[in-house]
Amino acid sequence: MSQGVMDDCSNFNGDTGCTSGQQTRYPDDWSKRSFQTFLKDGPDAHLYKPEYEGLGRVMCFNDIIYSADRSSANVTAKCRKHDSITKMEYNFNNEGFQSNATYAVNTSFSDALSLVVKATDGDGKEYTITQEVQNFVW
Protein backbone atom coordinates (compact mmCIF):
# COMPACT_ATOMS: atom_id res chain seq x y z
CA MET A 1 0.00 0.00 0.00
CA SER A 2 1.33 3.42 -0.86
CA GLN A 3 2.00 6.03 1.82
CA GLY A 4 -0.71 8.66 1.91
CA VAL A 5 -4.02 9.37 3.54
CA MET A 6 -5.70 6.02 4.07
CA ASP A 7 -9.34 5.61 3.16
CA ASP A 8 -10.38 4.50 6.66
CA CYS A 9 -8.77 7.46 8.48
CA SER A 10 -10.70 10.60 9.30
CA ASN A 11 -9.50 13.77 7.65
CA PHE A 12 -10.18 17.47 7.57
CA ASN A 13 -11.23 18.65 4.12
CA GLY A 14 -8.89 16.04 2.67
CA ASP A 15 -5.83 17.92 3.92
CA THR A 16 -5.13 16.55 7.37
CA GLY A 17 -5.39 12.81 7.67
CA CYS A 18 -3.59 9.90 9.18
CA THR A 19 -1.07 7.84 7.28
CA SER A 20 -1.41 4.83 9.58
CA GLY A 21 -3.45 3.69 12.53
CA GLN A 22 -0.50 4.56 14.78
CA GLN A 23 -0.36 8.29 14.00
CA THR A 24 -1.22 10.30 17.12
CA ARG A 25 -0.38 13.88 16.22
CA TYR A 26 -1.27 16.30 13.49
CA PRO A 27 1.32 17.46 10.95
CA ASP A 28 3.47 20.46 11.98
CA ASP A 29 1.61 22.79 9.62
CA TRP A 30 -1.80 21.77 11.01
CA SER A 31 -2.58 25.19 12.51
CA LYS A 32 -2.31 26.80 9.08
CA ARG A 33 -5.03 24.48 7.81
CA SER A 34 -7.28 24.43 10.87
CA PHE A 35 -8.37 28.08 10.76
CA GLN A 36 -10.71 28.38 7.79
CA THR A 37 -13.05 31.16 8.93
CA PHE A 38 -12.92 34.09 6.52
CA LEU A 39 -10.91 37.14 7.57
CA LYS A 40 -12.17 40.67 6.96
CA ASP A 41 -8.97 41.51 5.06
CA GLY A 42 -8.27 38.05 3.64
CA PRO A 43 -8.46 36.78 0.06
CA ASP A 44 -12.16 35.92 0.48
CA ALA A 45 -13.06 39.13 2.35
CA HIS A 46 -16.33 39.40 0.43
CA LEU A 47 -17.50 36.29 2.36
CA TYR A 48 -16.55 37.70 5.78
CA LYS A 49 -19.35 38.54 8.23
CA PRO A 50 -18.81 40.78 11.28
CA GLU A 51 -20.02 38.04 13.63
CA TYR A 52 -17.00 35.93 12.58
CA GLU A 53 -14.77 38.41 14.42
CA GLY A 54 -11.22 37.02 14.58
CA LEU A 55 -12.14 33.32 14.46
CA GLY A 56 -9.90 32.97 11.44
CA ARG A 57 -6.90 33.26 13.78
CA VAL A 58 -8.03 32.36 17.31
CA MET A 59 -10.77 30.39 19.05
CA CYS A 60 -11.34 29.93 22.78
CA PHE A 61 -13.54 28.43 25.45
CA ASN A 62 -13.82 29.19 29.16
CA ASP A 63 -12.58 26.50 31.54
CA ILE A 64 -14.04 26.95 35.05
CA ILE A 65 -12.51 25.28 38.09
CA TYR A 66 -14.61 25.71 41.25
CA SER A 67 -13.31 25.46 44.81
CA ALA A 68 -14.49 22.39 46.74
CA ASP A 69 -17.23 24.41 48.49
CA ARG A 70 -18.20 26.19 45.24
CA SER A 71 -17.74 29.61 46.80
CA SER A 72 -15.06 30.67 44.33
CA ALA A 73 -13.76 29.76 40.90
CA ASN A 74 -10.95 30.38 38.48
CA VAL A 75 -11.99 30.99 34.87
CA THR A 76 -9.26 30.30 32.32
CA ALA A 77 -9.53 31.16 28.65
CA LYS A 78 -8.25 28.08 26.81
CA CYS A 79 -7.39 29.19 23.30
CA ARG A 80 -6.16 27.68 20.09
CA LYS A 81 -4.30 30.15 17.93
CA HIS A 82 -2.94 30.27 14.42
CA ASP A 83 0.85 29.97 14.33
CA SER A 84 1.11 33.58 13.11
CA ILE A 85 -0.16 34.82 16.51
CA THR A 86 2.62 36.14 18.75
CA LYS A 87 0.66 37.83 21.56
CA MET A 88 -2.54 36.97 23.43
CA GLU A 89 -4.49 39.36 25.70
CA TYR A 90 -7.68 38.95 27.72
CA ASN A 91 -10.25 41.54 28.78
CA PHE A 92 -12.28 39.99 31.59
CA ASN A 93 -15.33 41.89 32.85
CA ASN A 94 -14.39 45.01 30.82
CA GLU A 95 -11.40 45.64 33.12
CA GLY A 96 -8.91 46.13 30.28
CA PHE A 97 -6.64 43.82 28.34
CA GLN A 98 -4.03 41.86 30.29
CA SER A 99 -1.72 38.94 29.55
CA ASN A 100 -3.15 36.67 32.28
CA ALA A 101 -5.63 34.14 30.83
CA THR A 102 -7.14 33.36 34.26
CA TYR A 103 -9.68 35.38 36.24
CA ALA A 104 -10.70 34.66 39.85
CA VAL A 105 -14.26 35.15 41.09
CA ASN A 106 -16.15 34.38 44.27
CA THR A 107 -19.74 34.52 45.48
CA SER A 108 -19.58 38.32 45.73
CA PHE A 109 -19.40 38.36 41.92
CA SER A 110 -23.07 38.32 40.96
CA ASP A 111 -22.97 39.37 37.30
CA ALA A 112 -22.27 37.26 34.25
CA LEU A 113 -18.55 37.37 33.39
CA SER A 114 -17.68 38.83 30.00
CA LEU A 115 -14.48 38.14 28.10
CA VAL A 116 -12.96 39.57 24.94
CA VAL A 117 -9.80 37.87 23.68
CA LYS A 118 -7.31 39.76 21.49
CA ALA A 119 -4.68 37.95 19.45
CA THR A 120 -1.93 39.89 17.68
CA ASP A 121 0.14 38.46 14.85
CA GLY A 122 3.78 39.16 13.97
CA ASP A 123 2.73 41.98 11.63
CA GLY A 124 0.78 43.76 14.38
CA LYS A 125 -2.68 42.82 13.06
CA GLU A 126 -5.18 42.31 15.86
CA TYR A 127 -7.95 39.72 15.90
CA THR A 128 -10.58 39.81 18.64
CA ILE A 129 -13.29 37.39 19.63
CA THR A 130 -16.06 37.91 22.15
CA GLN A 131 -16.80 34.94 24.35
CA GLU A 132 -20.32 34.11 25.48
CA VAL A 133 -20.90 35.57 28.95
CA GLN A 134 -20.26 33.14 31.78
CA ASN A 135 -22.68 32.54 34.66
CA PHE A 136 -21.71 30.76 37.87
CA VAL A 137 -23.46 28.22 40.10
CA TRP A 138 -24.11 30.82 42.77
Q: Whole-prediction pTM value? A: 0.77
Tens of pLDDT, residue by residue over 82-121, are 989 999 999 999 999 999 999 999 999 999 999 999 999 9
Give CA–CA dist 47/83, Å, rounded.
23
Residue 86 is which amino acid? T
pLDDT score, position 17: 53
Domain with 80 in it: 57-130
CATH of the domain at 101: 2.60.40.10
Q: Is residue 102 part of a domain?
A: yes
Q: Is residue 110 part of a domain?
A: yes
Q: Is residue 79 part of a domain?
A: yes
Q: Is residue 32 part of a domain?
A: no
Q: Is residue 15 part of a domain?
A: no
pLDDT score, position 35: 80
**What would the DSSP string read from start to end of the chain?**
--SS--TTS-EETTTEE-SSTT--S--TTHHHHH--SPPTTSTTGGG--GGGTTTTTEEEEEEEEE-TTSSEEEEEEEEEE-TTEEEEEEEETTS--BS--EEEEETT--SPBPEEEEEEETTS-EEEEEPPPB----
Q: Is residue 42 part of a domain?
A: no
Q: Is residue 24 part of a domain?
A: no
Q: Is residue 67 part of a domain?
A: yes
> In the chain, how many domains are there?
1
Average pLDDT over residues 10-28: 57
